[in-house]
Structure 1
Amino acid sequence: MKKIRYIILAVLCAVGVSACQDDLTIEGNGVDASQAMQVKLQFSVPNSEEITVSRANNDNAELGDLRLYIFNGDSYLKVQNATNITKGAATNEGQLYTVDATLYKGKQTVYAVGNTTTQTNYWMNPVEALDAAALNGKTEFLKTLYNVRQDVIDGGFVTFPGNYRPLAGSGDITVSDNGIPSGEIRMKREVARIKLNINMNYTVESGERRGNTVSFTPQTYSVYNVAGKAYVMEDGNSQDAAVSEGFYAVENRSNFDVSDGQVATIGDGFSIPENIQYAKNPCTTYNDRERWNGTENSGADDDAKTWTNAPDYGTYIVIKGNYLETDASGKVIYSGATSYTFHLGNWNNNNFDNFSVKRNSIYTYTMSVLGIENIKVEVEEETDGEQPGAEGDVIELDEGSEVFNLDAHYEQVYVEYNLSAVANNIKISGISENEIEDAIATNFMLSIHSPMNIKSGAEELIRPYTGINEEADMTGIDTEWVEFYSQTGRNQLSSYTSVRGNESYLLTPWQACKKMGEAVKALIDNPNNAPSITGLRVSQYGNSYYARFTVFVDEYFYTKDLEGNKVSWEKFTRAEPRTLLIASNWKASPDGNSTYAKARTYISQASIITFYNTEAAQTTNALGIESYNEYGVIEGFGTPHSTYYRKANSEGNEINGRANMKMDTYGMEWNEVPFGRIGYLSANTGTDGHTWKELNESDKRNSAYYACLSRNRDLNRNGQIDDDEIRWYLPSRSQYLRMGIGTNAFNTDVRLYTGDKNKMNKNNYPTSYVDKGALYYSNTTNNEDNNQDLWELYWAVEVGAYGSNHKGSPIYGAKAQIRCVRNLPSYKNVESDKNSYGDEALAGPVYEQLKRLQDGNRNYLFDFDNRMDKDIYRSSVFNGPYAEHVETSEQNRLYKAFIVAKDYIKNRGRNATYSSATGASSGKSNPCYNYFEASDKSDIGKWRTPNLNELTVMSTVANELDLEASTLSSTKFTNQNVRFGFHYNGSIISAWDPGQGSGPIRCVRDATDEEIQSAHPVN
């Protein structure tokens, strides 16, 4: 269905700085195939060509193995594996190598493919195809395609945990009479790296909106037409024909880094194969690149498009995010969800026909938000928009308009409508009596959008006042998630419990709009009398009559769709916001792709986020998380309602935060939670304006678990906190730990720690950074001294660390934050209402289950079975040490299963310092270099020091693994001035300062498919 959203206009810039990469051509006299000579060849791996305004870090590209194909003109001579690969000097242009090979006297062309064995995690080994094609001559040889591995395609983007990349290249080599070769083979990376820089803020400098401040926070990006096949060799004829098969999409990734609040990036970007494509028709302007035909299909903005000029298989990106524009006084003018589409390529020097993504290149695209005016013009002037890559719906906020941006849990907001003002405006408009009914209806138009809607976007707009009836008008539209409670109180929130006995005033959105229209009609007919409308309370303030409501918004959660079919969490998590709009002056463009309206009330509710993989939702319970903590820094955990009950029961504690919450609230009533001061009394742009921040000191001291309790609702309005009403709760220690592992799946603005770690210093660390989410209250108690008042704090800034707020600790009495969570049942558990929130829906560990390679074997295997989001995983197997990295790097990802070594390396006569464990070590400097367990030593070189996520997973079953204190990780902390690296300290993962000396290492390696299948669960 067509999505309700708001559109930005954007400019993308890619200015080229090209590195010299022309292959060297050496003149010679042809080949004497009878004279084979042993030679030392010189290879180079040039720096990547950077298509950007400034230089960036180059991709690593070590040369591990090399296969050579020698041709005399078009005639194939031989194939061989090069030996004795020796790393030479690094120059400004790249890295040099020498290798031993056997060539022939005279001139020959040498083609080389590198890292076919060290990069088996990326491509299906191309050697067999190259060997076969070479026998048919150079022309056929150059047509050889390589295939990206299916597990890479399934995982989305290739990741390179080590320093190797797939390489290929060529060069003309002339061997002299005395066997001395001249010439060089220049290798290139087979992939390109794509980087995005999205400027998040700017000020409008001209026009009617001059001085307005615009901000854009990207939420997701999708990449379409990613090549799954590409030419192995880059040479002449092979580049003339575009590849037209094997393309795939990577959708709805959210790992943006927006920590500095100015520029959003995707870390170091992502790698994709070369994709040479050509325009269908000439493009003379940038806008020509994005022109398209067709209309949007249900839920598929991009699949419905037929590109006018762009190639059918050109790679393009769709960026979606939140747009906000305010005037000089801070008043919100435009707000909502946005999207922008652009094709990749290098259009420097106005070369708008270029849609190719070339190997060995780094493309940096800078996007700046320029506003929404073109969309508005498209609607009002009924012209074609000037930016075909941007289409959608614009909502303008006028005097009296209010926008509420809400989180995924239960929430309430206060709204009011000046009915007299609407009536007076209609009366003075000069319209005829016959037009009054339509004018009233136009002032209370209703549009509700949710992922459960069956109707299309164009059908979502309803005029209740002149509608047929509610059942007919709202069929196919999801309306039950929002209720309007009519009240007389001004600037105050009603509690849901207080509705009991007054249910006649609890209205659906359609009923509220209908009854307000009836009240306006009564005021037009008799402006001096208060309208009497059944179910609507009308209040007088000054000379005007108002309709006032507390709007109750349900949690963004479903067990059934509108047709009664069972659904589970993959249908509504990490989805677009669901929205309610009461608007006037709605218009649509002729093509139906854009709309424009002035809002009276706009409510946008973010979906539940999770780091679990939607593809596992059939059988896997997940952990649902709210997007932010609107209450800000919290001053204390508080005293449980029943300390005796908490002490007498040990259920939950480390694993089950909801069970802990039940103990905290035992015997409590809903009137003890100040719902009259929890919610929004006026429009908000984010977490600002939430009334909890105005609570008294007594409330704040109890706020940690009270705050999560307030995310819930007295659903049956009986005043008692029933078991089925505790849906959102404060997480336990284990549940926070899982969030730390899942952090790479989140945009940085919803991660637990949202600050810029590079700007931290050691002064008052970490308490100085609580406002950015350094510390969090957990619902797990520390039983030290049998004092149940010691709740553990999660150190989100260090990903896996914990501490207790006990006396003697530097963080005793420290302030902290919270992030409330909800159980999300798998499809098989969506059988009853209770199964949707209770222990039946509790998510287990991030791994499927702990296993052993064999019964009684000390080799433990962690099998994740793709339970978590793809951004947490590496797409395919990897052997050897990780490249140097920090906790947010792609090297800190998990494979689908890994194996823990039987022994520590110290038991094999080795130990390691922190610096060697975290360095980009290879060969003999790798602490796990000579570790082996196979009798034939075939596994040497496959073991590595575990990264932070791997060690964190291992720490959850430390007893089973006999994990020793100070066990080291290979992951560094982002800010080396604050902490150096990570280790297991005997109970938890913690970060350590520089100079901590040495520690033991328990090596790990990726499991093979055979090992995963044959492993035995640990009972």
Structure 2
Amino acid sequence: MKKYIYLLCVLSFVLTACRDDKFGSEESSGSAALKLKFNTSNNMSRAVSSDEEERRIQNAYVFIFNQDGTKVFGRFYDGINQQNTYQIEIKDIPAGSDKTIAVIANINTAIFDLTTADLEAITTQPDLLALTSRMQDGFIERGSQFLMSGTTTADLTANTTNPVNVPLKRVDAKIRFNVTTAEGVTFTPLDWQVVTVPQIVNVLPTEVQGQFEFEGNYFNSSWNNFEITATNTNTFAFYVPENKVNPRKTIPAVGTYAGQYALREKQEKMPNSDGSVTNGAYEYADERATHVKFRGNIHYIIGSGKEVSADVTYTVHLGAVTGVNDYNSLRNHFYTYNVKIVSVDDIIVEVESTTQGEPSPGSEGDVVLAKEVLEFDAHNEVFKTVFHQSDIDQSLTWNISTPFSKGAENENPKDYEWICFRINTKTRTTYNGDFEKYKGDNGVYTDAELAVTGNTHPLDKYMADINTGNDKMLNIKQLINILKECKRRYTDNGTNSGTLFDSADEIVFTTFLKDFYYEVNPENTTETEENGLWKKFVNTEKRVLNILSNLKYSADHMSTKTTALYSIRQASIQTMYNKEAAENFTAWGTEMIQDENRYQFETQRIRANRTYDDKDNGRANTINMWMASSGSEEWDTYINSAKWEMQAAYNAAKYKCMRLNRDMDGNGRIDENEVQWYLASINQLTDLWIGENSFDPQARLYKRSTWEESLQWYASSTVLDKDEEGILWNKTYRDNPDILWSSEGSSIGKLTGAGAIDGAIVYYRCVRNLGIPKNAAKTVRPDDFATYDEATRTITLTRLDAKSIRGFKTSEELDDHNERDVRGYNKPWKAFKINSTTHGNNLSWQTVIARSKPGGRNPVCPAGWRVPNQRELALMYSKMPRNSTSWPLTDHFAKSSFSFNPVGGDRIGFSVKNEGGVFYLLHNNSNEIGGVRCVQDID
């Protein structure tokens, strides 16, 4: 890869007192007063936290030391809550020269463990200089909890009020990455991670570099998603404590700067007996140097018309401000890294190198150059593959990359049975363009059935079966073997006689892609299901099969290059569940690339009055919706198998998830165990909003940057009401499903609330259970990622993925934000408690928000409690009973405002109506008067 990194806006504001004279080194007699002003530096530009939060001084501890380092004053000032500047007056300080005044601001937070007691214990200036603080968790976000410090020296004249200014500097550096591409190149980001983040920091600045032991003092962040911006910029930002570290070895000042810069990511190479190498430690960067990894897919077309698709991982060590040997991230600095992706040429050069050359050590990836790249979602799919005799060469084979296997056929990867091929029927001398029917999961040839017998090639057996209509489906190993034999005979005979080629010298297959789901680990020799196996294949990179390909590795086997006819790529199931949790539990996930068309919920009234009203169990709803109790429905009734499209009468949101499934036993009937992908229930749609930060951005329900009220209804499988016509035996019904307004996040209501049932068109979302056997009864539902304890009024989210958890814990009100805030304010913490009573009763939403500021003087909630954000209120709404005990007021407000509300608009914020009647967007009406169910972050 050609990679250009620019460091922009490296800001450090250091304000010091200006001095010309000294009074000498002796202490003076008498006492002095001190008018002390301490101020934060300018904000660190574009925010992770807001400008106001980066500048907020919540509290401060002030020290004054004599020239010999003895403490003469120490006091804690609480409840400041000022931005930029705060001023106090201190009296009766011994006068004298070279006094040191030190201020430590924003202590007693949930981010760093520094407390008032720690500072009270300081008795000398050297004690304070040696003081460190440790982060209490792996935080890379801050909220308004920025630990700051500053010192200055001053001469205090007796019997005078001496003005002194102490600049405060945040102990953190802020980092932002912007990833752009050259024209014609597309980068689809996956995620990013910060590696080797210091967990400990000096409270005051120090010139000592690399002073902390590596073990126990550094951590890696979780993988995080890129930010979603209105301009589709690929960007992300984070905070890290100051990290000052010397290089392990100096990069020689030889060659170009770009060449020197590339060596920052170079690793030691340890030779293996097979000629490959194993990567060791970084050669020049110290093990304590912070670096960033980010992953994604690069796609572009090269001059030959081939598509280039590469799954890449890039590593960037922070620093390089003062030169290639700089690995520092300094406190109170803002670093912007602009990374431009031009191509994957350097990865290709590395793979093809005969000297173990590595032009860009920080670039790794699997590069595919294919005649055609086919992209599919996580569900079952049907498509055609066409093989012309000119595409086939005896040296070509296949290779795969999945969560379980990686490699070419000669490396014996086990995970290849997720795709199979059935040859199309011929119309006269050419193959038919329609799809063939799936023959069932057991309708694939075994290797024994296509084994060589005597001088007979498996092709002969296969052709005989085709002629009698007894042919089965082929796996990829069998397909390649048969294609090569067809090409050998074609070449030897000079004709397509005795082969499968048609008059156009082509062979056409209906290709069946299985859903990205595993009941057993394909690399295991046993057939037993592993507990929690789903955690290994959700939210992963796409699984890939390259057909008619060759595969080359780099020396360290971290990069590959494949040339292929077809590169078939399938997205993984996306879930908000925490796959890193050690606990074994079941879950559910969603497709990634949703259908962007809208449909009526159903196209016709029906006579059957079936019940499907579960708010949580979408699979049970869907089975009841599609199937009569007799189970006599036929696939062909709903789906045109020749085109794999819905029949016209069923081309409706109610049925669209059906085509994501498959006739797994090939008997033509829809069986319950064949309904694996189903229409989400109403609470599952809400959960997709709660956990959307854990998804690939393509999988989110609402991806627009403006509000389009009439375009964002998602219909659920939860139907509590029906429109009924006729009398007695002549009745017909039309469903009135619960729907979610995705542009509002998680506002819900009935379809009739969005307009007439007959005319409304809606989106739909298909989901799938994880870890539940496919033959499980429809009543079996996945475990919830949120648990509610009614006795303690606590919601716990240990099963929710870290990307959907707020990156910091707080005991104060959240800063003002909207429901789509990228700073984390509309995320829940790992667990929160709900206050037993309501507060701020009989207030408007505007009044509640005005009084609910961080450190505010007249808060609505009691000390240590706060107004819930919109997602927390949505969790409360879906988990707490919907009655007057839980929801006694007319309205129960969230802190979050509505992002799409125009200036002066009426759509202001979010609320739950009395008795949990509805979760909705406020309209600034005079009757919208209520209060707050306050919440509290807990461990």
TM-score (norm: length of structure 2): 0.85
Summarize the alignment of residues 283-362 of structure 1 with structure 2, pairs less than 5 Å apart: 283=251, 284=253, 285-294=260-269, 305-326=280-301, 333-345=307-319, 347-348=320-321, 351-362=323-334
Q: How far off is 1:970 after superposition?
A: 0.7
Report percent identity of matched pairs. Answer: 23
Summarize the alignment of residues 661-740 of structure 1 with structure 2, pairs less than 5 Å apart: 661-666=622-627, 667-674=632-639, 676=641, 698=648, 702-740=651-689
Is the Cα–Cα contact under 8 Å of residues 30 and 95 in structure 2 kept in the other structure?
yes
Moved more, 388-397 or 610-619: 610-619
SS in 2 for 1:735: helix
Matched, 1:989 2:890: no
Q: How far off is 1:642 after superposition?
A: 6.7
Summarize the alignment of residues 591-606 of structure 1 with structure 2, pairs less than 5 Å apart: 591-606=556-571
SS in 1 for 2:738: strand
Amino acid at match of 2:112: W
Q: C-alpha distance in 1, partners of 2:177/2:156?
A: 45
The corresponding residue for 2:783 is 843
Q: 1:662-697: CA deviations, max 9, x gaps?
A: 112114211123353667xxxxxxxxxxxx5xx77x
The corresponding residue for 2:55 is 61
- Aligned partner (choices 237, 241, 248) of residue 273 of structure 1: 241
Amino acid at match of 1:377: V
Amino acid at match of 2:401: H
Aligned length: 868
Unaligned runs of 5+ in 2: 254-259, 426-430, 444-464, 725-732
The corresponding residue for 2:874 is 952
Change (3 A) 1:262 1:418: same
- Aligned partner (choices 484, 487, 495) of residue 520 of structure 1: 487
Q: How far off is 1:202 after superposition?
A: 3.2
SS in 2 for 1:703: coil
The corresponding residue for 2:620 is 659
Q: 1:374-433: CA deviations, max 9, x gaps?
A: 222333453523211112332112xxx2211111111122101112x246xxxxxxxxxx
Change (3 A) 1:422 1:755: closer
- Aligned partner (choices 155, 162, 182) of residue 202 of structure 1: 182
Matched, 1:560 2:514: no
The corresponding residue for 1:886 is 818
Change (3 A) 1:625 1:247: farther
Q: 1:695-747: CA deviations, max 9, x gaps?
A: 77x25x63313221111111100111111110000101111011111122234
The corresponding residue for 1:801 is 747
Change (3 A) 1:778 1:833: closer
- Aligned partner (choices 794, 798, 816) of residue 866 of structure 1: 798
The corresponding residue for 1:858 is none
SS in 1 for 2:480: helix
Matched, 1:900 2:834: yes
Amino acid at match of 1:711: L
Q: 1:862-883: CA deviations, max 9, x gaps?
A: 3314120112223554222111
- Aligned partner (choices 39, 42, 47) of residue 42 of structure 2: 47
Amino acid at match of 2:566: T
SS in 2 for 1:506: coil
Q: C-alpha distance in 2, partners of 1:105/1:803?
A: 71
Q: How far off is 1:788 after superposition?
A: 4.3
Is the Cα–Cα contact under 8 Å of residues 5 and 339 in structure 2 kept in the other structure?
yes
The corresponding residue for 1:447 is 399
Q: C-alpha distance in 2, partners of 1:1003/1:171?
A: 46
Q: C-alpha distance in 2, partners of 1:992/1:811?
A: 24
Q: 1:834-878: CA deviations, max 9, x gaps?
A: 34x84434233x42133223xxxxxxx233141201122235542
Amino acid at match of 2:638: V
Q: 1:859-911: CA deviations, max 9, x gaps?
A: xx23314120112223554222111111123111212332323333345xx62
Q: How far off is 1:923 after superposition?
A: 5.0
Matched, 1:834 2:834: no
SS in 2 for 1:185: strand
The corresponding residue for 2:428 is none
Q: 1:39-92: CA deviations, max 9, x gaps?
A: 33111111245699x99957523222222333223522245224477677x7xx
Q: C-alpha distance in 1, partners of 2:171/2:515?
A: 47
Matched, 1:766 2:709: yes
Matched, 1:10 2:3: yes
Q: C-alpha distance in 1, partners of 2:277/2:684?
A: 36
Amino acid at match of 1:540: D
Amino acid at match of 1:64: Q
Q: C-alpha distance in 2, partners of 1:716/1:975?
A: 49
Q: C-alpha distance in 2, partners of 1:78/1:302?
A: 61
Summarize the alignment of residues 333-412 of structure 1 with structure 2, pairs less than 5 Å apart: 333-345=307-319, 347-348=320-321, 351-382=323-354, 384-397=357-370, 401-412=371-382
Change (3 A) 1:219 1:656: same
Amino acid at match of 1:778: S
Q: C-alpha distance in 2, partners of 1:997/1:34?
A: 68
The corresponding residue for 2:14 is 21
- Aligned partner (choices 203, 214, 217) of residue 185 of structure 2: 214
The corresponding residue for 2:71 is 77
- Aligned partner (choices 94, 105, 114) of residue 95 of structure 2: 105
Q: 1:747-793: CA deviations, max 9, x gaps?
A: 43321111113xx4xxxx412xx3xxx22121122416556421232
SS in 2 for 1:257: coil
Matched, 1:973 2:898: yes
- Aligned partner (choices 185, 209, 214) of residue 244 of structure 1: 214
Matched, 1:962 2:887: yes
SS in 2 for 1:576: coil
Is the Cα–Cα contact under 8 Å of residues 775 and 796 in structure 1 kept in the other structure?
yes
SS in 1 for 2:699: coil
Q: C-alpha distance in 1, partners of 2:302/2:750?
A: 45
Change (3 A) 1:254 1:775: farther
- Aligned partner (choices 596, 599, 603) of residue 632 of structure 1: 596
Is the Cα–Cα contact under 8 Å of residues 486 and 501 in structure 2 kept in the other structure?
no
Moved more, 499-508 or 57-66: 499-508
The structure with more helix, counted as a fraction of residues: 1
Q: 1:224-281: CA deviations, max 9, x gaps?
A: 1011111111134x45736634344445534323454641223xx2222221122223
Q: C-alpha distance in 2, partners of 1:816/1:918?
A: 37
Q: 1:465-497: CA deviations, max 9, x gaps?
A: xxxxxxxx63x5212212122223444322315
Q: C-alpha distance in 2, partners of 1:971/1:51?
A: 21
Q: How far off is 1:106 after superposition?
A: 2.1
Is the Cα–Cα contact under 8 Å of residues 19 and 48 in structure 1 kept in the other structure?
no
Is the Cα–Cα contact under 8 Å of residues 40 and 99 in structure 1 kept in the other structure?
yes
Is the Cα–Cα contact under 8 Å of residues 792 and 804 in structure 1 kept in the other structure?
yes
Q: C-alpha distance in 2, partners of 1:885/1:748?
A: 21
Summarize the alignment of residues 415-426 of structure 1 with structure 2, pairs less than 5 Å apart: 415-419=385-389, 421-422=390-391
Change (3 A) 1:449 1:279: same
Moved more, 375-384 or 653-662: 375-384
Unaligned runs of 5+ in 1: 1-7, 204-212, 424-438, 464-472, 533-537, 680-691, 854-860, 932-939, 1010-1019
Q: C-alpha distance in 1, partners of 2:593/2:391?
A: 37
Summarize the alignment of residues 930-949 of structure 1 with structure 2, pairs less than 5 Å apart: 931=861, 940-949=862-871
Q: 1:345-376: CA deviations, max 9, x gaps?
A: 2x34x622221112222222222211111222
Q: How far off is 1:961 after superposition?
A: 0.4
Matched, 1:540 2:502: yes
- Aligned partner (choices 494, 498, 505) of residue 472 of structure 2: 505
Amino acid at match of 2:408: L
SS in 2 for 1:789: strand
Change (3 A) 1:587 1:899: closer
Q: 1:802-822: CA deviations, max 9, x gaps?
A: 233338827862332222101
Summarize the alignment of residues 186-197 of structure 1 with structure 2, pairs less than 5 Å apart: 186-197=167-178
